[in-house]
Amino acid sequence: MLRDSYNRAHTYLRISLTDQCNFRCVYCMPNEHMKFMPAGHLMNAKEILEIASLFVKQGITKIRLTGGEPLVRKDFKEIIEGLSTLPVELTLTSNGVLIEEHLETLKKANIRSINISLDTLQADKFARITQRNLFEKVYKNIVLLVENDFHVKVNSVLIKGQNENEINDFILLGKDLPIHIRFIEFMPFTGNHWDQSQVITHHQILEQIGSVYSYQKLEDAKHDTAKKYKITDFKGSFAIITTMSEPFCGDCNRLRLTADGKLKNCLFSAEESDLLSTLREGKDILPIITQTVLGKKFSQGGQFAPSFEETDPEKLVNRSMINIGG
């Protein structure tokens, strides 16, 4: 097991396949003209499988593929076929645009749970947020996943003044379809112009939902980042990821591998460890992995104030979200 100094065992690895995306969401990608990493700087399919295999030998039981948008990788099929041979739960986070053309590949890889990022149900607002007019295609692919028996979670980042008035519209998605809505509190990253006043908190979300619906709390599994709820007679459910207002770092089991092969022991860690360069030099990367895990801070990379309202985003050392991996 990969354990940190707080004796937390790490069993969940998120692997970013690329920093490229076919959307331009402002909270994730700082600007339309940002430069992406050259292909030679990214892990290739063989390297991804080699590194992932080592992590699995050290106790990783779940791998989530992220980006950018992971499905834009031209060798996505090769990557997913390789990873599907490992004794691990394999999952995916996507913006949903390319799901239809990769559906059979996902089935053959035995991926049964997929997260789709979607911050609005209004087509015109979707176009403003993503700078792409593709809402109908994303929605149809969400329904397609449901029809093919995938466990579908819809991730919505809530930002004050942008989409908090759609909370109950999202809730309604789960009435007749087994869709699981996950509201995410807005988090600070390099270039996303975060401000504490833009955060819609756990309490505020529940207050808005409770004004229309009667809900009950569901039991959260160990290591869950989301607090789960259910509305009676709805086929779906909803959950809230309370990173800012109620951090859940106490039993964290997650590690992140960026597309250029850097290991982050926390989403907000200032430090990164270069696994890819060491691997390409033919050296053993396991000592780097164990030391990186051991050096993990107890909460939020050790960079946040006790209250998110007191956190100064200008003092945070990190990448933009798209450079880290969703």
Sheet holding 179-185, edge to edge: 215-217, 226-231, 237-241, 179-185, 151-158, 113-117, 89-94, 62-66, 12-16, 254-257, 262-264, 273-274
Mean pLDDT across 300-306: 89
Q: What is the pLDDT of residue 168?
A: 98
The end-to-end CA distance of the chain, in Å, is: 24
CATH of the domain at 268: 3.20.20.70
- List the structure tokens of 250: 């106490």
Mean pLDDT across 188-206: 91
With H, G, I as helix, E, B as strand and everything else as coil, classify residue 190: coil
Q: What is the pLDDT of residue 57?
A: 98
In this structure, the strands spanning 9-10 and 237-241 are unpaired
Q: What is the pLDDT of residue 297?
A: 96
Mean pLDDT across 92-107: 97
The answer to whether residue 125 scores a pLDDT higher than 70 is yes
Mean pLDDT across 245-256: 94
Q: Greater confidence, 211 or 130?
A: 211
| pLDDT bracket for residue 324 (50, 70, 90) | confident
Q: What is the pLDDT of residue 33?
A: 60
Please, which residues have CB within 8 angstroms of residue 98's CB and are 6 or more apart in sequence?
22, 69, 71, 72
Q: For the chain, give the mean pLDDT.
A: 93
| pLDDT bracket for residue 124 (50, 70, 90) | very high
Q: What is the pLDDT of residue 26?
A: 67
Mean pLDDT across 218-247: 95
Q: What is the pLDDT of residue 65?
A: 98
Mean pLDDT across 176-194: 91
Q: What is the pLDDT of residue 39?
A: 81
Model confidence pLDDT, tens digit, residues 22-48: 887 766 665 556 677 788 899 999 999
The answer to whether residue 266 scores a pLDDT higher than 80 is yes
Backbone angles phi, psi at 63, to 5 degrees: -125, 130
Mean pLDDT across 138-164: 97
How many domains does one find in the chain?
A: 1
- List the structure tokens of 308: 């998110």
Model confidence pLDDT, tens digit, residues 277-296: 999 999 999 999 999 999 99
Element (H, E) at 263: strand 262-264
Per the structure, the complete domain to which residue 232 belongs is given by 2-324
| pLDDT bracket for residue 93 (50, 70, 90) | very high
Q: What percent of the chain has pLDDT over 70?
A: 96
